[in-house]
Amino acid sequence: MLLRHRFLTLQTASLFSSSSFSSSSVLPFSLDFRKPFSHTIQQTPNLSSSTTRHVHASAAKDSKPAISETAKFVKKALFVPPGVEPDLVTEDMILPGSNIVLGPYAGHSQIKQVEFVKSSAKPKDCPKDALPEFAILGRSNVGKSSLINALVRKKEVVLTSKKPGKTQLINHFLVNKNWYIVDLPGYGFANAPESTRMDWSSFTKGYFLNRETLVAVLLLVDASIPPRKIDLDCANWLGRNNIPMTFVFTKCDKMKASKGIRPDENIKNFQEIIRENYREPPPWIMTSSVTGLGRDELLLHMSQLRNYWDN
Ligand SMILES: Nc1nc2c(ncn2[C@@H]2O[C@H](COP(=O)(O)OP(=O)(O)OP(=O)(O)O)[C@@H](O)[C@H]2O)c(=O)[nH]1
Ligand SMILES: [Mg+2]
């Protein structure tokens, strides 16, 4: 059994209902922590979900201020990690700009040291030292390499480019000598025919399916453009294959986004689709590699996933 299944598993549920994503082969999924930490929110959340009520009730009981705009924006579809009782979630446990509740497994999160280890052309060539790792996945040009540079606070640890397709190999970066960040090739080149767009999977498919040390995939989604089918197709593929993931919205600094739609609106629209199709909400977080938005929060989230995985 893959080690990552000790941490969390994505489960398939009923068929997609959204017409834009309807396909007989497309299945939604939900997050489901395995025992002994099975504190998931049970039903499809909406504005009046059980979690919301818990947040409100808890805040009222403790005479805390009313729920913040951020928490409202989260739309009450919280990601509750292992070790947290959903009934006891309070607003101050939610990471700003995300739906992620911080739990007891969160720990040391800052990056003190990072070193490039290797580029692998094939999944079987990846490091074999069994350290936990996070894969950075997303459409070409979404900002994968930039996010890694922002996380490690180095400008050029990873090459970035205006030209899509810069990252061609599986690149392993060792952090603090005990976990990896993995930069992957992007999928969905603009202008490429649909048939070749998902070719990334033939390259990285083996990696996702066989990498036992994969704690989670950070699936990057560009918040400066409206939701793309290919991103949801990718999320769906990961879900069907029980690969844990976190949605990381990038380019949230681009407030003058294309087509006059702002990042927060794009994210809300994306959330609407997610909420329609997922029984349990995956964790998601807003980031900007330009301003550093979400950096520390994402690292904290990664620390709780990693520490639980290590446990
Ligand atoms: N404004 C803004 N631009 C960004 C951000 N992140 C990345 N970019 C820009 O987006 C472009 C692509 O960034 P990369 O980090 O190279 O994207 P990538 O996903 O690694 O691309 P591939 O390796 O080709 O798949 C570059 O011009 C970056 O400067 C961000 O948070 N805000
Ligand atoms: Mg790149």
Quote the pLDDT of residue 217: 95
The two three-digit tokens of residue 279, written as one number: 């029984």
66 Cα: distance to centroid of ligand 2 (angstroms): 41
Distance 310 CA to ligand 1 centre (A): 31
**Cβ neighbours of residue 35 under 8 Å, at least 6 residues apart?**
none
Determine, yes or no, domain membership for 92. no
Domain boundaries, position 121: 114-253+261-310
pLDDT at residue 271, rounded to an integer:
76
Is any atom of ligand 1 closer than 6 Å to the C-beta of 160? Answer: yes
Query: 268 vs 47, 101, 102, 115, CA distance in Å?
Result: 13, 19, 22, 36
User: What pLDDT does residue 246 have?
Assistant: 95
d(CA 205, CA 274): 23
**Any domain includes 140:** yes
Which ligand sits nearest to residue 137's alpha carbon?
A: 1
CA dihedral 158, 226, 75, 64 (to 10 degrees): 60
Q: Which residue intervals of 29-114 are DSSP H helices?
A: 50-61, 69-73
What ipTM does this complex have?
0.99
| From 119, 141, 149, 219, mutation site for ligand 1 pocket: most ligand atoms within 8 A of C-beta | 141
Give the residue among 191, 182, 264 at the shortest CA–CA distance from 230: 191
Instruction: State the total domains in the chain.
Output: 1
User: Is 138 part of any domain?
Assistant: yes
Instruction: Identify which of 276, 231, 240, 246 has the alpha carbon closest to the alpha carbon of residue 11.
Output: 240
- The CATH number of the domain holding residue 245 is 3.40.50.300
In the prediction, which pLDDT does 25 show? 27
- Give the model's pLDDT for residue 72: 56
State phi, psi for 230 to the nearest 5 degrees.
-65, -35
- Whether 1 is in a domain gets the answer no
pLDDT tens, the chain, 311 aa long: 344 443 343 332 222 223 222 222 222 222 222 222 222 322 222 222 233 323 333 333 444 445 555 555 554 688 999 999 988 999 899 999 999 999 999 998 999 999 989 988 888 899 999 999 999 999 888 998 899 999 988 766 555 544 555 556 888 999 999 999 998 887 765 555 454 444 555 667 788 888 999 999 999 999 998 888 888 888 878 877 888 999 999 999 987 655 677 888 888 888 777 666 666 778 999 999 999 999 999 999 999 999 999 88
Instruction: Output the pLDDT for position 147.
Output: 94
Residue 214 in domain = yes
68 domain-assigned: no
pLDDT at position 121 is 83
Atom 9 in ligand 1: residue holding the nearest Cα: 143
C-alpha 75/C-alpha 62 separation (Å) is 22
Any residues with CB less than 8 A from the CB of 271 and at least 6 apart, and which? 75, 77, 284
Q: What is the pLDDT at residue 268?
A: 82
What pLDDT does 278 receive? 64
DSSP helix/strand/coil, 117: strand
Residue 183, in any domain of the structure: yes
**Is residue 243, in this structure, part of any structural domain at all?**
yes
What's the whole-model pTM score? 0.76
CA of residue 99 to ligand 2 center, whole Å: 26
